[in-house]
Homo-oligomer: A and B are copies of this chain.
Amino acid sequence: MAGTRDIRLEERPDPVILAPRDVIVRVVAACVCGSDLWGYRDFGNGRERLMGHEMIGTIEQVGDDVAALKVGDFVISPFSLSDGSCQSCLAGSTSVCDHVTFFGSRDEDHHPVDGAQGELIRMPLGESSLVVVPGPVDDALIPHLLALSDVASTGHHAAVSAHVGPGDVVVVVGDGAVGLSAVLAASRLGASRVIAMSRHADRQAVAREFGATDIIEERGEDAIVALRALLDGDLADAALECVGTKESMEQALGSVRGGGRVGFVGVPAGGPELHIRELFDRNITVGGGMAPARAYIPELLAEVLSGAIKPGKVFDLELPLAEVAEAYAAMDERRAIKVLLRP
């Protein structure tokens, strides 16, 4: 990404092992994230950068100190890399690892880390971050495996952070790929009713496939009125905030009953604060942040492999990596929910 709406496909030297714990992965599929669109729409004073943080692939090469991965392994990469051994990782919060490392940034040795929208990627912390998919991988599984890299795990984090459980009435604010994934997660965790807030027919259809029992098209105060009408005057037990604006957080907070829970995974782009007095007075719990995808993938992977969940339905367009610029444009112009890229 070199500027506003300026995505360039460039030839770069093949990556090489720089440290004994590095691995090189050959990308099988990557994708564009809703969060990639922020810089796309307003690059501001940004610096040219390598894009992509969601990826599945095969191990191409391993450093001398790598024991748990071998050449040919099919792997899923979580969108953030973690050491697997710090206090937060051991507690399952891999996204706030003491050594958390991001695609397109720098590793601990100050070496640049590749972006996932590419062909070959050098990965630090590969052994503690990548999850191996057992057995031969059917091509039909590709989108579902790729979804675990970020959106399915992030939607799951919204539901886990809101402690969604059997019988809960859950509202999902946001109908992007993460919001839709949150619908799937809430449904999977036993919610009796999952109410998707969406005004786009294509997204409503995926929401229904993912288990949404109701759709609310209204926004703001009108959405709360519609919600109360739907629930005979009641409100939801939990709301999953999957946008990241001040308005979406207010909608989530307004959707839950006293004692309710809000799980938030939209990167906060709006107001910088939560009114603690409101939380206190209404006994609302708020939790979330970046999903610990590494910790969630094994559990979700088992259900992808069994066919119990198909989180890859959020991908409604597939393009070759050569058309990566078009992938961004399609998502920016809402012609696609999420675009899968194949090198």
Which residues of chain A have a CB within 8 Å of any CB of chain B? 87-88, 91-93, 95-97, 161, 163, 234-235, 237, 249, 257-259, 261, 264, 267-268, 271-277, 279-290, 292
Contact = CB atoms under 8 A, between A and B. Distances in A.
Contact of A276 (B92, B258, B272, B280): B272
Q: Which 4 residue pairs across A and B have the least CB separation, nearest first?
A: A93-B259, A96-B258, A285-B287, A273-B273
B279 A267 contact: no
B289 A287 contact: no
Contacts of A283: 93, 95-96, 287-290, 292
Contacts of A274: 273-274, 276, 279, 286
B88 A292 contact: no
A276 B273 contact: yes
Contacts of A95: 258-259, 283
- Which secondary structure characterizes the binding site on chain A? mixed
Contact of A249 (B276, B282, B289): B276
A259 B290 contact: no
Number of copies: 2
Nearest to A279: B289
A286 B259 CA distance: 13
A292 B259 contact: yes
Given A87-B235, A273-B273, A93 B258 contact: yes
Contacts of A163: 163
Given A235-B87, A259-B88, A286-B285, A280 B292 contact: no
Contact of A280 (B97, B271, B275, B288): B288
Nearest to A168: B91
Contacts of A282: 96, 289
A158 B215 CA distance: 35
24 contacts: A87-B235, A88-B258, A92-B259, A95-B258, A95-B283, A96-B257, A96-B259, A96-B283, A163-B163, A249-B276, A264-B276, A271-B276, A272-B276, A273-B273, A274-B274, A274-B279, A274-B286, A280-B290, A281-B289, A283-B287, A283-B292, A285-B285, A285-B286, A286-B287
A190 to B, nearest CB: 16
Contacts of A91: 237, 257, 259
A286 B290 contact: no
Nearest to A162: B285
A87 B234 contact: yes
A223 B92 CA distance: 26
